[in-house]
Amino acid sequence: MSKNKKISITAAAIAVVIAGVLGAYFVPVQSIVTIIPTTQEEQEKYDALGVAQRFILTSPTFSFDGDINTLKTEYVGSTKSIPPEHMFKATFESAHGGFGNRDGQMLTEAITPHIVEIIISEGKVISAVTDDVWDELNHQYVLKPKLPSHDEPISPFDGIVTDYASLVNGIKSRGILVEQKEKLDDSPFFVPTVVLSVGGTDIQVYEFESESDAKAAMQTISEDGTQIGTSIIRWIDVPHFYASNKIIVLYVGQNPEITSLLESLLGPQFAGM
């Protein structure tokens, strides 16, 4: 076989190998379906989707500990307003509980699913709320409407909370629904734990035999509320301890309406974050 023929055969073999490698490399790419917008409306939706996807990656809650492998973004709909508002829903899982940038905060290690509702208008995110409670744009909890009220007649209240009964009366006097959910025999203070639902939010009430007993129990709680006696407590959210006369009240959460209500009835928190 001549030298020229050998070179031709070798070149052809190399070309076949290269073609095979390139074909194998590009097969996954060719399997991706690209949707090309055909109308202005579709183009606006497509552009808005891109804005939503880029936003969620930098949003405080997701960027702190979101799992990129669980992130999904889908189109929900649009308004008839001018300019239109495009609505999207993003879902993902975080490695911890809570919202936003939690640097320096006590974290709960628990896989936490989230839903973010995003509204986009004229290429900008105008609203982004996670789980109906956290404002991603303003980095704060959403101030919800007033707490649910009850239909019972409102009894007069002199404003002084001394025990469990007067606490319940004080809450009812504000027109807020309150009911006992359960009573537990054990607690860190060796008195029963009464769980109250206040407008749908749980608080814990500890009633003592006397005010001096309540004050003694207060001394066992650390300033930040993470330790009671010798026990270290890992709360699922921010703890708030309040006290008045014979009772200690604990609220774990960050609803500003609940904290404002308790402060108005019991005074400022004496321990917590």
Tens-digit pLDDT profile for residues 79-116: 888 889 999 999 999 999 888 888 877 777 889 999 99
DSSP string, 148-163: PP--SPPPP--S---S
- Per-residue pLDDT, 67: 96
Phi, psi (rounded to 5 degrees) for 78: -145, 160
150 found inside a domain: no
Q: Residue 248 pLDDT more than 80? A: yes
> Would you say 193 and 184 are in contact if contact means Cβ atoms under 8 Å apart?
yes
- Paired strand residues for 77: 87
Domain boundary among the residues 99, 126, 141 is at: 141
Higher-pLDDT residue of 3, 214:
214
- Per-residue pLDDT, 20: 44
Range name among 7-16, 71-80, 161-170, 213-222 with the lowest pLDDT average: 7-16
7 found inside a domain: no
The pTM (predicted TM-score) of the whole model is 0.52
121 found inside a domain: yes
Three-class DSSP category at 33: coil
- Per-residue pLDDT, 134: 85
Band the pLDDT of 22: cuts 50, 70, 90. Answer: very low
- Per-residue pLDDT, 36: 66
Q: Residue 208 pLDDT more than 60? A: yes
Q: Are residues 56 and 109 in the same domain?
A: yes
> Would you say 235 and 242 are in contact if contact means Cβ atoms under 8 Å apart?
no
Work out the average pLDDT over 226-232. Answer: 86
Q: Residue 149 pLDDT more than 70? A: no
Q: Are residues 174 and 131 in the same domain?
A: no
19 found inside a domain: no
Domain residue limits at 252: 164-272
Q: Which of 104, 77, 100 is nearest to 88 (CA)?
A: 77
Work out the average pLDDT over 207-235. Answer: 90
Work out the average pLDDT over 235-254. Answer: 91
Query: How many C-beta neighbours within 10 Å does residue 194 have?
Result: 21
176 found inside a domain: yes
Assigned token pair, 61: 């809650």
Q: Residue 30 pLDDT more than 60? A: no
Work out the average pLDDT over 164-172. Answer: 90
% of the chain residues with pLDDT over 70: 79
Q: Are residues 133 and 219 in the same domain?
A: no
Q: Are residues 128 and 200 in the same domain?
A: no
- Per-residue pLDDT, 175: 81
Query: In 257-273, which positions are buried (b, 16+ CB within 10 angstroms) versus exposed (e)?
Result: bbbebbeebbeebebbe
218 burial via Cβ count (<10 Å: 0-12, 13-18, 19+): middle
Q: Look-up: residue for tokens 């609940």?
A: 258
Three-class DSSP category at 256: helix
152 found inside a domain: no
Three-class DSSP category at 122: coil
Q: Are residues 173 and 128 in the same domain?
A: no
Q: Are residues 198 and 255 in the same domain?
A: yes
Largest CA distance in the chain: 113
Work out the average pLDDT over 16-34. Answer: 41
Phi, psi (rounded to 5 degrees) for 157: -140, 130
What H or E segment, with its residue span, contains residue 77? Answer: strand 72-78
Phi, psi (rounded to 5 degrees) for 118: -115, 135
Q: Give the number of domains in the chain.
A: 2
pLDDT in tens, 39-65: 888 888 889 999 999 999 999 999 999
Please provide the distance, in angstroms rounded to a whole number, between the alpha carbons at the two ends of the chain: 88
How would you classify residue 123: left for phi > 0, otherwise alpha for psi between -120 and 50, otherwise beta? left
In the predicted model, what is the mean pLDDT of the chain? 82
- Per-residue pLDDT, 260: 84
